């Protein structure tokens, strides 16, 4: 799967990782490895999965030693089996040993997220539903982790607090005194007056009776959090009926989203309920790293 990657967005985190791990240098390798020694390293998958993060691995290597030769055998997003050689690196042995753990930390983590996302995406294949990530990401890694979600077949939710209005239960609790007789629709209208038209407005709904109010107020996305699939199905049907009665020429389609306590075992039930989106925090915060090795050999003395 081809997904554009912006190296500018990872420069700081890569430099931090290099400083954290290498510091003033690899003292063990300096003791035992001659300066002129050259080797080849190969990245091998030790289990099946989706590989993500090869652009990151290449950038890390270039920051360790610009003369390292990095050759990839597959595209990011490729499904691989156990024992696949996904890339190779040639150059100074000291550089390869310094880069080994850094490359694996990025590549294993991102491949794990892509693999977990793909498991969810495959479960809802055939339905209109898309799998979305959340803001439950590793601090500083959000761009990379959301990239891995896309590589795995998922869709990105908002990148942060700045690019979409999302009125959730805590907002509603805090703003209770401001609501006009419990009219959540007034909050949607207030938000629309203060943000650009292209900025989406999403509201978490706790009760089905609030749906009409949201539709009338011009909400873009209705979020059903911690609701059973059967109740969500009922809610989706209500949204459809209300949309059919609107002026399609002046209104954009309302999206429906489910979240909360969604796992691989029940995600298909939520897709069957008819929602457009299912947001799953665990594809980033709980994804297991994909097992990949970086084997270095073929030492040559210069």
Catalytic residue numbers read 101, 136, 168, 204, 225
Say which residue the tokens 């055998």 belong to.
73
Token code pair at residue 25: 């240098």
Token code pair at residue 190: 């207030």
Q: What is the CA radius of gyration of the chain?
A: 24
* Of the candidates 147, 145, 182, 187, the residue with the CA atom closest to the CA atom of residue 166: 187
Distance CA 48, CA 290 (A): 8
CA end-to-end span of the chain, whole Å? 40
Distance CA 5, CA 129 (A): 25
In this structure, are residues 86 and 44 in contact, taking their beta carbons and an 8 Å threshold?
A: yes
Q: What are residue 188's phi and psi, to 5 degrees?
A: -65, -45
């Amino acid at each position: 799967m081809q997904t554009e990657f912006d190296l500018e967005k990872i420069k700081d985190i890569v430099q931090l990782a290099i400083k954290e791990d290498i510091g003033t240098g690899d003292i063990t390798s300096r003791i035992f490895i001659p300066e002129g020694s050259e080797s080849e390293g190969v990245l091998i998958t030790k289990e099946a999965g989706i590989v993500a993060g090869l652009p990151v691995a290449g950038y890390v290597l270039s920051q360790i030693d610009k003369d390292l030769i990095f050759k990839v055998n597959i595209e990011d997003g490729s499904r691989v089996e156990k024992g696949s050689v996904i890339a190779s690196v040639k150059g100074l042995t000291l550089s390869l040993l310094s880069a080994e753990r850094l490359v694996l930390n990025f590549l294993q983590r991102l491949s794990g997220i892509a693999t977990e996302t793909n498991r969810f995406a495959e479960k809802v294949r055939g339905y209109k539903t898309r799998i979305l990530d959340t803001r439950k990401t590793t601090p500083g890694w959000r761009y990379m982790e959301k990239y891995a979600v896309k590589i795995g077949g998922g869709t990105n939710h908002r990148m942060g607090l700045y690019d979409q209005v999302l009125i959730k239960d805590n907002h509603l609790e805090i703003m209770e005194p401001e609501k006009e007789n419990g009219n959540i629709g007034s909050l949607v209208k207030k938000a629309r007056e203060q943000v650009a038209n292209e900025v989406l407005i999403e509201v978490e709904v706790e009760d089905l009776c609030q749906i009409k109010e949201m539709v009338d107020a011009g909400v873009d996305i209705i979020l059903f959090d911690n609701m059973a699939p059967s109740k969500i199905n009922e809610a989706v049907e209500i949204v459809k009926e209300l949309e059919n009665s609107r002026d399609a020429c002046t209104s954009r389609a309302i999206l429906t989203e489910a979240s909360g306590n969604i796992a691989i075992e029940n995600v298909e039930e939520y897709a069957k309920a008819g929602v457009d989106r299912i947001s799953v925090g665990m594809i980033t915060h709980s994804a297991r790293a994909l097992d990949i090795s970086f084997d270095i050999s073929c030492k040559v003395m210069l």
